[in-house]
């Protein structure tokens, strides 16, 4: 925003940008409200993201929120890799399947080679179905992200890197590349913001934070408080120490921003009271 004149004098309004580590935020929400919203929904469906982001800006030395950059993965890397190709090579496929203890035991228990070959193919078919299911979920996550970007002012999702999904264990692994993109933007976009607000507990951002501080920027980190009042585990101690300030969001406030009602209370509220 350009300087505005006020009675002939020029005033510069301080702008804040928020940098959100998307997977870190999602894990924090799951830890805070694990029994009150379904994690398969990806994010709370009725969250007021504008209110949440604007509240963060109101707590720092800035007049307005220029933009929220929200960093998420661009793709999923599945393990085992390239199942359709592996299914055309039964020996290689069985060798990979044997890396999983459960399936290795099942193969060893089957002495009939023909039945074992059928078991390998059936296992591969099951894994491919899991891959299709996870791809569908991932597409749903991106639709949620697009919906937030469309309905909430000044929110931009930035997709980078990947996340691994183990088809055997049906478990997501660590992200790759997202933290690098966030740190790079924190540096490269320094010319447009006065205050940078980082929503993350990742100590890997410490070097980038130190650099932009040396450039004269004010950097704030965000932590979340549990219902008990303690800081949610996972917050990076070194990141909190190096930033200029730490905002601790109260559990009750976050509950209101996310519009997450306790399941028991929500159910009780739905029961009509007799006159």
Quote the pLDDT of residue 92. 81
pLDDT of residue 12: 58
> Does residue 274 register a pLDDT over 70?
no
Q: What is the pLDDT of residue 234?
A: 60
Query: What would the two tokens of residue 72 be?
Result: 């998420």
Mean pLDDT throughout 175-181?
Answer: 93
pTM of the model: 0.85
Counting Cβ atoms within 10 Å, is residue 62 exposed (0-12), middle (13-18) or buried (19+)? buried
Q: Which residue has the higher pLDDT, 155 or 104?
A: 155
pLDDT of 8 above 70: no
Q: What is the pLDDT of residues 24-76, one digit of tens each?
A: 999 999 999 988 888 788 999 999 999 999 999 999 989 999 999 999 999 99
pLDDT at 263: 54
Q: What is the pLDDT of residue 1?
A: 46
- Kind of pairing between the strands at 64-72 and 15-21: parallel
pLDDT tier for residue 273 given thresholds of 50, 70 and 90: very low
Asked if residue 68 lies in contact with residue 50, where contact means CB atoms within 8 angstroms, the answer is no
Instruction: Tell me what pLDDT residue 180 has.
Output: 94
Residue 110, pLDDT score = 77
Residue 40 per-residue DSSP state: G
Q: What is the DSSP letter of 100?
A: S
Lowest mean pLDDT among 59-63, 78-82, 178-182, 187-191: 78-82
Taking the C-alpha atoms of residue 256 and residue 29, their distance in angstroms, rounded to an integer, is 13
Task: Give 220 or 92, the one with higher predicted confidence.
Answer: 220
């Amino acid at each position: 925003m350009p300087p505005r004149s006020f009675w002939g004098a020029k005033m510069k309004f301080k702008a804040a940008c928020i940098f959100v580590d998307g997977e870190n935020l999602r894990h924090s929400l799951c830890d805070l409200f694990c029994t009150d919203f379904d994690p398969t929904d990806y994010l709370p469906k009725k969250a007021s993201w504008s209110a949440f982001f604007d509240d963060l800006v109101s707590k720092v030395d800035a007049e307005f929120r220029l933009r929220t950059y929200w960093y998420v993965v661009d793709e999923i890397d599945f393990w085992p890799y390239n199942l359709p190709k592996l299914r055309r090579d039964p020996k290689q496929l069985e060798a990979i399947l044997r890396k999983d203890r459960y399936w290795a035991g099942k193969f060893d228990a089957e002495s009939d080679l023909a039945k074992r070959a059928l078991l390998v193919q059936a296992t591969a078919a099951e894994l491919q179905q899991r891959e299709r299911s996870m791809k569908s979920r991932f597409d749903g996550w991106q639709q949620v992200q697009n919906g937030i970007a469309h309905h909430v002012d000044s929110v931009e999702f930035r997709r980078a890197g990947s996340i691994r999904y183990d088809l055997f264990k049906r478990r997501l692994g660590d992200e790759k590349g997202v933290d690098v993109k966030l740190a790079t933007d924190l540096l490269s976009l320094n010319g447009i913001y006065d205050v940078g607000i980082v929503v993350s507990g990742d100590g890997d951002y410490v070097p980038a934070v130190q650099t932009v501080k040396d450039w004269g920027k004010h950097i704030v980190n965000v932590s979340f408080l549990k219902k008990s009042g303690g800081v949610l585990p996972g917050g990076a101690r070194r990141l909190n120490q190096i930033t200029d300030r730490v905002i601790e969001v109260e559990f009750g406030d976050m509950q209101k921003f996310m519009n997450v009602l306790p399941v028991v209370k929500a159910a009780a509220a739905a029961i009509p009271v007799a006159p």
